[in-house]
Amino acid sequence: MTDAGDWCLIESDPGVFTELISNMGCKGVQVEEIWSLDPEFTADLGQVYGLIFLFKWQNKKSYAPPADENADHVFFANQVINNACATQAILSILLNRDDLDLGEELRNFKEFTADFPPDMKGLAISNSELIRSVHNSFARSDPFVNEMVDPNAGKDQDVYHFIAFTPIHGALYELDGLSRGPVNLGPCDDSSWVEKANEAIKKRMESYGSAALHFSLMALIRDKVEQMEEMIEETDGILLSLSEDDVEARNRANHSRMMYEQVLQQEQDKRKKWHRENVLRKHNFIPIIYNLLRNLAEKDQLDPLVAQAKEKAKSRTTQ
C-alpha cells in the first residue's frame, strides 16, 4: 500500500459521509449510525443499500475468509491509499447498486473501470480528481498537524479500517480493500441480507477475542427527506380522492400525514446540524483564538485569567 499522499484522514461520522456522497453527485442516499442489526432496531431504517463496518485493524490473519475468484460482476477495488478506506467502503456499496442515481461523474467512472482488475480499480480511485477532492474537502483544519506527529509512534498508533457489506445479484458480499477479492457470504434476498450481514459482523468481532477493540457500524439508506416528501405527496393524493363523508379514512390519512411531517422536520433539522458541524470541522479557529488572546493581553486581562485558571486546576487536583 502506498503512502497517504495527498489524501487526508476524515472523521467517521454519518453527517460527513452523507455530505460526501452528495458532493460526489449521488442522490437519494444518506448514512445513519446504528447500534444493532436486530430487526426491532433496523425496521425504522427503511431500505438499506449497504453497511459500513469500522474496526481497529490488527496486523494478523485472525480472520481471513476466502475471496470469490469468480465475481467479475462485482465492483471490487484494492485499497492502495491508507487514508482512503472510508471513502472506498462507501464506493464499494454505491458502485455495486443498480438502483441508485450515481450522478454523471460516478456513473462514467463505473463504466470506465468496469473491466479493470482490482488493483487498477484501486489506482483509478486514488487518481480520480472528483473523488479525491471531495474526500479532502472534509479534512480537519489542523495547522499543527506536522509538529504534533511523533515519528517514533507509528507502530503503536491505533489504525482503523472500514469494510462494506452489500447484496449483489442475490448474494451477500463482504468488500474489504485489503483482501484479494470480494467475499461471497452466501445467497440472500432483500429481506434477509441484513440479518445475514449481522451474523458475519458478529463473527468478525468474535474473531478478535477479548482484545480492547472499538467497533462502529453505519448503514447507507434511502434519503429520509426524499422519502417523507413522497409519502406526504402520496397521502395528499389519497385525501383528495376521499369523500368528505368518509371521516374515519380522512382522519387516518391526516394522522399519517402529520407523522410524516414530523419525521420530515426532524430530518431537515438533522441535515442542518450535520452541515453546520461539517463547516466547523473545516474551519481554522487559530486566528480567532490568537486575536482574542492578544486583545486580552493588551487590556491586561490575560494574566489574571491565566492565574485564575491555574488556581481552579490546582484546586481540582487536591480534591
Of 26, 135, 161, 188, the catalytic one is 161
Task: Say yes or no: 211 and 242 in one domain.
Answer: no
In a domain, 238, yes or no: yes
Q: Please state, in angstroms and rounded to a whole number, the distance separating the CA atoms of residues 289 and 317.
A: 27
**Grid cell 454519518 — which residue?**
14
Query: How many structural domains are present in the chain?
Result: 2
CA angle (179, 177, 33) in 5-degree steps? 120
Task: Say yes or no: 249 and 183 in one domain.
Answer: no
Last-in-domain residue among 222, 240, 270: 222
Task: Say yes or no: 197 and 114 in one domain.
Answer: yes
Other CB atoms within a 10 A radius of the CB of residue 111 amount to 9
In a domain, 200, yes or no: yes
Task: Say yes or no: 243 and 190 in one domain.
Answer: no
3-state SS of 113-173 is CCCCCHHHHHHHHHCCHHHHHHHHCCCCCCCCHHHHCCCCCHHHCCCEEEEEEEEECCEEE
Task: Say yes or no: 228 and 112 in one domain.
Answer: no
Task: Say yes or no: 191 and 44 in one domain.
Answer: yes
Rg (CA), the chain: 24
What is the reported pLDDT for 308? 82
Task: Say yes or no: 156 and 144 in one domain.
Answer: yes
Task: Say yes or no: 38 and 186 in one domain.
Answer: yes
What is the reported pLDDT for 4? 46
What is the reported pLDDT for 254? 95
What is the reported pLDDT for 309? 80
State which residues form the domain around 19.
Answer: 14-222
| Per-residue pLDDT reduced to its tens digit, 156-198 | 556 778 999 999 999 999 999 999 899 999 999 988 899 999 9
Q: Is 188 a catalytic residue?
A: no
Q: Is 161 a catalytic residue?
A: yes
Task: Say yes or no: 217 and 231 in one domain.
Answer: no
Task: Say yes or no: 137 and 42 in one domain.
Answer: yes
Report the CATH number that the domain containing residue 38 is assigned in CATH. 3.40.532.10
pLDDT less than 70: residues of the chain: 1-5, 58-70, 141-158, 209-213, 283-290, 318-319
Of 85, 135, 275, 283, the catalytic one is 85
In a domain, 157, yes or no: yes
80 contacts: CB under 8 Å, gap ≥ 6:
1, 2, 119, 122, 123, 125, 126
Task: Say yes or no: 206 and 229 in one domain.
Answer: no
In a domain, 272, yes or no: yes
In a domain, 299, yes or no: no
What is the reported pLDDT for 149? 42
In a domain, 39, yes or no: yes
In a domain, 9, yes or no: no
What is the reported pLDDT for 11? 87
What is the reported pLDDT for 248? 94
Task: Say yes or no: 31 and 180 in one domain.
Answer: yes
Q: Tell me which H or E stretch contains 305.
A: helix 302-318
What is the reported pLDDT for 69? 66
What is the reported pLDDT for 146? 44
